[in-house]
Amino acid sequence: AQKITQTQPGMFVQEKEAVTLDCTYDTSDQSYGLFWYKQPSSGEMIFLIYQGSYDEQNATEGRYSLNFQKARKSANLVISASQLGDSAMYFCAMRDYSGRGGGNKLTFGTGTQLKVEL
């Protein structure tokens, strides 16, 4: 079974600073995918970034980058130049290929609440 662990219930960062949100995972699969989603107080899950297990380069999307360390089974999200609008809950998730039809269901961690301060 897959498992995602996010050990930081809450994080504070000052505006314009960079912040790293931690995510470790556990899986016996050789091929897997890792995602980060942002959930503002409105409730919608917003896709941020994806990393495939065979991708040699760390994924980047604008101010978001994923620090992927396969041997350590970690997939930390780095947000550069934090903005007030970045205040939200952030979830790390792993794609599960098992099941009929090849799966693609996601297993989520418990999330990290990020607060950006002036």
Partner 1 sequence: DTGVSQNPRHKITKRGQNVTFRCDPISEHNRLYWYRQTLGQGPEFLTYFQNEAQLEKSRLLSDRFSAERPKGSFSTLEIQRTEQGDSAMYLCASSPNWLDTQYFGPGTRLTVL
- Smallest separation (angstroms) from partner 1 to the CB of 118: 27
Instruction: Out of 43, 56, 71, 85, point to the residue binding partner 1 (CB under 8 A).
Output: 43
Q: Tell me the window of 17-25, 32-40, 56-64, 75-83 that interacts with partner 1 (CB under 8 A).
A: 32-40
- Residue 72: alpha-carbon gap to chain centroid: 15
Environment class of 6 (CB within 10 Å of its CB; exposed 0-12, middle 13-18, buried 19+) = buried
Region 45-84 residues binding partner 1, contact defined as CB under 8 A: 45-47, 50
Is residue 10 within the footprint of partner 1 (CB under 8 A)?
Answer: no
Instruction: Out of 71, 72, 100, 118, point to the residue binding partner 1 (CB under 8 A).
Output: 100
Query: CA dist 92 to 14, 63, 66, Å?
Result: 22, 17, 11
Q: Which lies closer to partner 1 via its Cβ, residue 3 or residue 16?
A: 3
Residue 67 contacts residue 20 (beta carbons within 8 Å): yes
- Smallest separation (angstroms) from partner 1 to the CB of 93: 7
- Tally helices (H) and strands (E) across the chain: 0, 12
Report the distance separating Cα 6 and Cα 26, nearest Å: 12
Binding residues for partner 1 (CB under 8 A) = 4, 33, 35, 37, 42-47, 50, 91, 93, 95-96, 99-111
